[in-house]
Every structure is written in C-alpha cells, then in structure tokens.
Chain A
Amino acid sequence: MEPFYFGANNTLFGAYHMAEGMPRRHAVLIAGPLLNEGIRAHFALRQVANRCAAAGYDVLRFDYTGLGNSRGSSADSSLEDWSADIVVAAGELARISGSPTRTLITTRFASNLAAGLTKTTQIDRLVMWDPVLEGGHWLEMLREGQEKLPARLLNLIEDQDREFMGHITSATFVAGLEARLAVSLDVDSRSAVISRGYRHLGTLEAVTDDIQQVDADCRWQANTSDVLYPVDIINAICARLM
C-alpha cells in the first residue's frame, strides 16, 4: 500500500494498492462511507482492497475532504465537495494505474454521491454495500442515532442540525441531504450487498435487481466507535469482483 496526498493543493488522502501477481489491467475505486461510518468501516474496506490487489486489481481508497486523513474540516465541506472528491479520486486512479476498465465500490451514502461520477466517467461495474440512495433516508438514520445517545451527551450538542455522529457538518448539510433524492446510476453492471436489517429495499430495487442479502449486522445507526468487521460482507463484495 502506498499512502499519498492528491487533488487540488494535495489535500485528499489516498491509499493505493498496486496489483500483485498477474495484473488484470482493471482498477477498483473504493468510495467509503461518510462521517463516523467511514472510521468504523475503515478496517473492512482495507481488507477488501488488500484482497482485490492480491487478485490483480489496482485499488485506490481515499478519504473525503475534512474526514479521515484528508485535510480540512467536515464543518467546511459540503455534499457537493464530497461528491466532487469521488470524481477527483477516480481521475487519480485512472492516471496512476493506467487501467482501461474500472469498478467502483460504494458504501452507504457514497452510492448517492457517486452519481456524478457514473454520469461522466467510464465505470464498468458498480458494487454497493448497504447503499443509502436518498438523502432523506440517511438524515432519518442520522437523527435516529442522535436520539439514541444518552441524554447527558445529547444535551451537550451545541447545534442539533449540524452535529451528527460526533462530527460538525456544514451549515447546508441538512438542507443538502433533504434535496438529494434517489439518483440514476448510469452503469451497466450494478449490484448490491446488504446486511441484516437493511431498510431501503424498495429504493434499491428500482436501481438494481442483483441484490445479495448477508446475515451480518452493521448497526450503522448506532453512534458508537466499534470497528466493523463483517467477514461475510467482505467475502460477498470480493466475490463480485473475482
């Protein structure tokens, strides 16, 4: 794995996993989830990247502006910024790998944010993990997580409309989410891996009929710091690429 910064002013963090063994000339971009979901899913997505690289794929993971190891603050970053980050990361992966075909793996709300990329860039295959395709759906879960906080912590939140999952979001975050409806994903091969308790099957079925349900509980709406390591989900995602 090669860590580096890229994008305008070198502010986006990337982790590039170069293909091992016989390269397939096929690149995989992993667009992880946002806010605390991204920290919790880091370990699992790193396993996906390692396994894809071992199977001959060039893989790029990256952190969104103001999240993870990328520079900036979530308070200054909009949904449009994070959507643009996916496009920039895809361009960077194409540049460094030179691979002619590409797969995009999205997790949670990245599946909505990636719509800009699937419209403008050549993506051959899209694999979604527990996609949240509508902003309103994600907002509902964020608020639910907030309500599950113990009262003593909830009372300390200075702005209930800006602080979610332990992160301060931008002033336009809530309005931006409400305005983000289900998107069209212009990719020929679309599939999804979903965990137990997945709620948005109706919206997902309008996008793809290739859906695999896995018996794992990711507890996305929980405001916790527990690291996700759903082995069966990782296996299912990787199996779709091999």
Chain B
Amino acid sequence: MRPPDVNVTPLLLGETGLFGIRTSPPDQSCSLGFILLNAGMLPSVGPFRMNVELADAMSRLGTTALRLDQSGKGESPVRPELTPADAALLDYDEAFANLRRCGVEKTIIAGLCSGAVDALQIAAARESVVGLVLLDGYVEQTLRWHLHHRASRAALQTRRIFSRASNAISMGPRGAIEHMKRKREADSIDSEAPILTDYRDWETLDLRFSYAQVLGRGVKILSVFSGTFPPYNHHGQMASFLGSDTDTHNLTEVFLQRADHTYTNTLCRRHLLETVCGWFSREFPK
C-alpha cells in the first residue's frame, strides 16, 4: 500500500458524541477548514465514497477537512430535543470548535442534495463560513426552465414513437407484447424506490433569502448541478433564479450534464473533484 499522504483521525465531538473523520495535510495546513455534510441518509463517506475522495483532495491542497456525520445520520446519535435546523447548527459549531484547535479560522462547507441545503442554512447563520460547495442544491424553476423542459419532452416523445415503431417491426407482434410485459414489470419495481423528495424538507424555507444574505456577505459559492436533477435543466438557471437584485459575482455555476445525482460514475466524480479543486485554488489562493 502507498504511504499515506494525508493524516486521518476519527473524532467523537461534543457531549452527544457526534462522529467525524478529520483529514489533515502532513505539513502545515492553512487556516481554512473544509466540512463535508451527509448526502441524504448516507454515511459520511458519501455516495460511492465521494466525500472521502473530496476530503483527501482538499487536504492535499492544504486544508484540514472534516467529514461529518450530522445528528441522526451515519455513526452519530440523534438530538431528539432539537429541531433539525438547530441540530445542524450545533453540529457545525462542534465540528468548527474541533477544527479551530488545528488552527482553522474560517470554513468552506460542502453538501449534496439535503446536505447542500443544510450548508446554505448554516452559512446564513454563521459568519465563520466563507465558502460553499453546493451539489444539486436548492434552485427554483424559471420561465426558461419550463421552455427547456417542454422542448426536451417533445424531443423525447418523438424519439420514443420512432423507437417503438422500429422495435415493433423488428420484433414482430409476439415479441412486442413480451417486451411490453417486461417493461411494465421493470417499471413496477422502480416505482418502489425512494425518490429525491423523500429526503427533503425545503419547501417551507426561504432559501432565496439565504442565498442573497450569504452572497451579500461575500461568501463564495460553487453551485454544481448534475444532469439528472429535475429542478435544474440549463446553465445559468441559478443566477437567473436569484435575480438581478442579488449580487452574484461570487457565484460560480457549473452544469455537469453527464453526471447523475449521486455521481455513480467514477469519471463524473473525477470531473467533480477537478471542478471543486480548481474553484478552490482560484477563489482561495494561498
């Protein structure tokens, strides 16, 4: 095995024993910490171990990274006495307190899906946050979203009609019936799977205000969207959703159209890693 180029330390934080793994560069780290939150209910390793790869990469760039299991997720116990929003803030405070002992003064928070919403809410409440990496974070549908959506649906339906006609001709009537039966079975299995909204409680929050607030404070945001995130379908939608009233010069919007929501593919994860590391090096030069 290759010698470790970063140091890893498992942590139990605070009185409740919040779990995290701190990843530090072997030499002197900079005063910026990088905190990774859970993606949905997945443990702190993230989907397909993405958070481990991100933490290692950010440590190689000189930051101290902390992969956190938020209350009630992964290895961490729940905080039944607190609301989810209050628990997320207390989780952050405990993680930040640990990082401060390693010389960290300011933080960047990263999260995917529900983790991105938590990261935004924490940044709105804590001035120690100077950067956000939001993967498939909150965005609203704009007029242009609807135009793109209708155009892509029309194109898809046209392709389906041609594809079905061509399949029916090549399979013959009996083959076509068998094919439809198999497809119906497959659809019924898929319908049991949880959907994105199972992990969300965003609708009641005023997240547009939170974006405006943190951007107004000078927080730098990298907002990355995948190609299978229904509320987002074209580059520029994020800035458009925030509107001209919001100062967006600290917002970097990236559309990784080939990636899926949880970055199943290793090539897409590599692109994501390069995107995040490139943004960090540009926005937070040494």
A198 close to B (CB within 8 Å) = no
Residues 1 to 49 of chain B near chain A (Cβ within 8 Å): 1-2, 4, 8, 10-12, 17, 19, 21, 39-45, 47-49
Listed residue (A158, A222, A226) with the most chain B CB atoms within 10 angstroms of its CB: A226
Chain B's interface size range is 35 or more
Nearest chain-A residue to B113 (Cβ)? A225
A227 to B262, CA, bound (A): 13
Flag B42-67 by CB within 8 Å of A: 1 or 0 each.
11110111001000000000000000
A40 to B230, CA, bound (A): 23
Query: Given the known A-B contacts A3-B12, A39-B43, A71-B4, are A157 and B48 also in contact in the complex, defined by CB atoms under 8 Å?
Result: no
A5 close to B (CB within 8 Å) = yes
A interface residues, how many (CB within 8 angstroms)? 41
Flag A1-15 by CB within 8 Å of B: 1 or 0 each.
111110001010101
The answer on a CB contact under 8 Å between A166 and B12 is: no
A interface SS class: loop
Query: Given the known A-B contacts A67-B49, A68-B45, are A3 and B10 also in contact in the complex, defined by CB atoms under 8 Å?
Result: yes
Nearest chain-B residue to A46 (Cβ)? B75
The answer on a CB contact under 8 Å between B8 and A166 is: no
Listed residue (B75, B264, B267) with the most chain A CB atoms within 10 angstroms of its CB: B264
A223 to B8, CA, bound (A): 29
B192 close to A (CB within 8 Å) = yes
Query: Given the known A-B contacts A15-B75, A149-B264, A166-B264, are A68 and B193 also in contact in the complex, defined by CB atoms under 8 Å?
Result: no
9 closest cross-chain pairs (CB), A and B = A166-B48, A3-B10, A225-B262, A225-B47, A227-B41, A166-B264, A156-B265, A42-B43, A156-B267
**A to B CB contacts below 8 Å, 19 in the list:** A3-B11, A9-B1, A9-B4, A11-B1, A36-B48, A69-B21, A71-B1, A71-B4, A72-B1, A76-B2, A149-B264, A150-B260, A156-B268, A158-B266, A158-B267, A168-B266, A225-B42, A226-B193, A227-B42
